[in-house]
């Protein structure tokens, strides 16, 4: 079995990277990796926020199967870890936030949260801290047999916490034109500003905008995009240093490197900000997917087939040569697309063909479900069935009050910005809904998430969420 380095960047939209066509120089190191590997252009997250998305990634299950929808739950079903252990591969993780230590404790080994050893102002230092700790792990564990290291970078997740050398990399707006509350809460540069209170909460501010109770001027919106891009550049450098260290340790030639994001981010394309809310549009559910296999074709190939992150680990285990996958994982994954000798970008792309019917991929938020089938996408209002009845009723009420109780159908080939709802085509909508209903009926819940947190651990996680602006 060969080594695997899995890098996941929080809240990173693919359309803000150069390798996906972005015109700002925010991602030179990731662009270089993509030019030497494979670029997945239609990779979907299984959800629109962190906890269920990571649980789906590591279990190969959709959220309605694994039941994890909050940071206090614990994923179960350690198929990946068991296969790696059977192949005598050492596993480790270096993550930005301590809630991963609870969330993934039953599906992954040796999780180090860099926040556990840093001061209250640690948040500006997270990307280089993750790189430093990851390289220390590789130096200790990378030489004697196969390894699999998972690293998580906080990425361009609000609030944007940046050191001086990156803080103003892409500024285009006069700060005086920016809403002062957004400047304070979304871009906290002093340590006393990082911990947010109930009275001055970033997410309370975002909710006011999303409910139409507060106006967002164009200068503030552009300022947020500028800070988002500066955060990408900061994380890109840290990831580049990790890749340099992998090479200096003599491990690069036998290591499959994968870069993903857990979900994207809304910047008012459809009237909302941030993520984890009602919407399941492409700016939230489409994710980064870069795979560099030293033994593969590389060459900057693009894979345009719609894919899901639930099949990432089956793919990586197959590419790495791991033996004895579980029976229900045989044949899963998209490694055959990556192993094909595809011409470079600009010459040809791997796409669906008439004799290979498209397979559906799904995204499950708390409020809605989305399905992509080839060029078509269906979004339906349907709170997740794993949530309690009272919680589901509250979600239905929120959608009613925001005018979100409607089906949406889009042709992503002709309308990638999802501006024309085709739900009026009754035959198309009925056909897509039938496929979605069959999927939900065929695959019921498989595991119950554990929530037996000690009170002290719960308080630590809650405080970290508040310090970082998540709560």
What whole-number distance in Å separates Cα of residue 42 and Cα of residue 19? 13
pLDDT band at 443 (very low <50, low <70, confident <90, very high): low
Q: How many domains does the chain have?
A: 2
Q: What is the pLDDT of residues 246-269, one digit of tens each?
A: 999 999 999 999 999 999 999 999
Q: State what percent of residues in the chain have pLDDT above 70.
A: 86
Query: Phi and psi at residue 150, in whole multiples of 5°?
Result: -105, 125
Mean pLDDT of 434-441: 87
Q: What pLDDT, on a 0 to 100 scale, did the predictor assign at position 331?
A: 81
461 and 397 within one domain: no
407 and 329 within one domain: no
371 and 333 within one domain: no
Look at residue 101 and tell me whether its pLDDT is greater than 60. yes
For the chain, give the mean pLDDT. Answer: 89
Between 450 and 422, name the one with better pLDDT.
Answer: 422
pLDDT band at 201 (very low <50, low <70, confident <90, very high): confident
313 and 371 within one domain: no
Q: What is the pLDDT of residues 356-386, one digit of tens each?
A: 567 899 999 999 999 999 999 999 999 988 8
376 and 342 within one domain: no
Between 270 and 466, name the one with better pLDDT.
Answer: 270
Look at residue 334 and tell me whether its pLDDT is greater than 50. yes
97 and 29 within one domain: yes
47 and 177 within one domain: yes
Mean pLDDT of 147-171: 95
Q: Which of 201, 229, 198, 213 is closest to 272 using CA atoms? A: 213
Task: Check which CATH number belongs to the domain holding 286 and give it.
Answer: 3.40.720.10
CA angle 61, 67, 68 (to 5 degrees): 95
Mean pLDDT of 420-437: 96
334 and 396 within one domain: no
Look at residue 102 and tell me whether its pLDDT is greater than 80. yes
Q: What is the pLDDT of residues 116-157, one digit of tens each?
A: 765 445 568 899 999 999 999 999 999 989 999 999 999 999
Q: What pLDDT, on a 0 to 100 scale, did the predictor assign at position 350?
A: 43
pTM: 0.93
pLDDT band at 195 (very low <50, low <70, confident <90, very high): low
Q: What pLDDT, on a 0 to 100 scale, did the predictor assign at position 345?
A: 36
343 and 411 within one domain: no
What whole-number distance in Å separates Cα of residue 279 and Cα of residue 276? 8
- CB proximity list for 217: less than 8 A, separation 6 or greater: 177, 179
Mean pLDDT of 232-244: 98
- CB proximity list for 423: less than 8 A, separation 6 or greater: 406, 407, 408, 409, 429
181 and 60 within one domain: yes
C-beta of residue 439 within 8 angstroms of C-beta of residue 371: yes
375 and 331 within one domain: no
In SS3 terms, the chain reads as CCEEEEEEECCCCHHHCHHHCCCCCCCHHHHHHHHCCEEECCEECCCCCHHHHHHHHHHCCCHHHHCCCCCCCECCCCHHHHHHHHCCCEEEEEECCCHHHHHCCCCCCCEEEHHHHCCCCHHHHHHHHHHHHHHHHHHHHCCCCCEEEEEEECCCCCCCCCCHHHHCCCCCCCHHHCCHHHHHHHCCCCHHHHCCCCCCCHHHHHHHHHCCCCCCCHHHHHHHHHHHHHHHHHHHHHHHHHHHHHHHCCCHHHEEEEEEECCCCEECCCCCEECCCCCCCHHHHEECEEEECCCCCCCCEEECCCEEHHHHHHHHHHHHCCCCCCHHHCCCCCHHHHHCCCCCCCCCCECCCCCCCCCCEEEECCCEEEEEECCEEEEEECCCCCCCHHHHHHHHHHHHHCCCCCCEEEECCCCCCCCCCCCCCHHHHHHHHHHHHHHHHHCCCCCCCECCCCHHHHHHHHHHHHHCCCC
Domain that holds residue 399: 361-442
C-beta of residue 78 within 8 angstroms of C-beta of residue 90: no
Look at residue 446 and tell me whether its pLDDT is greater than 60. no
Look at residue 344 and tell me whether its pLDDT is greater than 50. no
pLDDT band at 202 (very low <50, low <70, confident <90, very high): confident
52 and 139 within one domain: yes
Task: Check which CATH number belongs to the domain holding 404 and give it.
Answer: 3.30.1120
Mean pLDDT of 63-90: 91
């Amino acid at each position: 079995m060969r080594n695997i380095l899995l890098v996941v960047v929080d809240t990173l939209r693919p359309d803000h990277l150069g390798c996906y066509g972005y015109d700002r120089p925010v991602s030179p190191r990731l662009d270089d990796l993509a030019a030497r590997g494979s670029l997945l252009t239609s990779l979907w997250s299984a959800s629109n926020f962190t906890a269920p998305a990571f649980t789906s990634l590591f279990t190969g299950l959709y959220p309605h199967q694994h039941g994890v929808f909050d940071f206090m739950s614990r994923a179960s079903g350690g198929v990946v870890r068991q296969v790696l252990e059977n192949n005598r591969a050492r596993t480790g993780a270096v993550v930005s936030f301590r809630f991963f230590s609870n969330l993934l404790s039953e599906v992954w080994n040796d999780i180090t949260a860099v926040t556990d050893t840093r001061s209250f102002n640690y948040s500006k230092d997270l990307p280089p801290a993750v790189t430093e700790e990851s390289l220390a792990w590789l130096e200790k564990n990378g030489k004697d047999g196969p390894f699999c290291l998972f690293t998580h970078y906080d990425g361009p997740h609000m609030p944007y916490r940046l050191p001086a050398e990156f803080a103003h990399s892409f500024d285009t707006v006069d700060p005086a034109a920016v809403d002062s509350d957004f400047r304070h809460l979304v871009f906290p540069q002093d340590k006393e500003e990082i911990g947010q209170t109930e009275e001055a909460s970033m997410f309370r501010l975002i909710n006011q905008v999303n409910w139409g109770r507060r106006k967002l001027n164009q200068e503030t919106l552009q300022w947020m995009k500028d800070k988002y891009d500066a955060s990408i550049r900061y994380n890109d450098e840290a990831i580049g240093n990790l890749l340099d260290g992998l090479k200096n340790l003599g491990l690069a030639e036998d290591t499959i490197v994968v870069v993903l994001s857990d979900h994207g981010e809304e910047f008012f394309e459809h009237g909302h900000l941030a993520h984890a809310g009602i919407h399941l549009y492409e700016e939230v559910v489409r994710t980064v997917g870069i795979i560099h296999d030293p033994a593969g074709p590389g060459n900057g190939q693009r894979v345009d087939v719609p894919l899901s992150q639930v099949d990432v680990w089956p793919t990586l285990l197959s590419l790495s040569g791991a033996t004895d996958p579980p029976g229900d994982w045989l044949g899963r994954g998209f490694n055959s697309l990556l192993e094909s000798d595809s011409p470079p970008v600009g010459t040809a792309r791997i796409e669906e063909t008439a004799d290979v019917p498209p397979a559906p991929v799904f995204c499950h938020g708390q409020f809605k479900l989305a399905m992509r089938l080839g060029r078509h996408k269906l979004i339906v209002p349907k709170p997740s069935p794993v949530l309690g009845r009272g919680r589901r009723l509250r979600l239905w009420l929120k959608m009613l009050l925001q005018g979100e109780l409607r089906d949406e159908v889009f042709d992503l080939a002709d309308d990638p910005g999802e501006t024309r709802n085709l739900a009026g085509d009754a035959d198309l909508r009925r056909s897509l809904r039938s496929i979605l209903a069959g999927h939900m009926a065929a695959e019921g819940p498989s595991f119950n998430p554990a929530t037996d947190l000690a009170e002290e651990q719960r308080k630590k996680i809650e405080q970290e969420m508040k310090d970082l602006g998540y709560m």
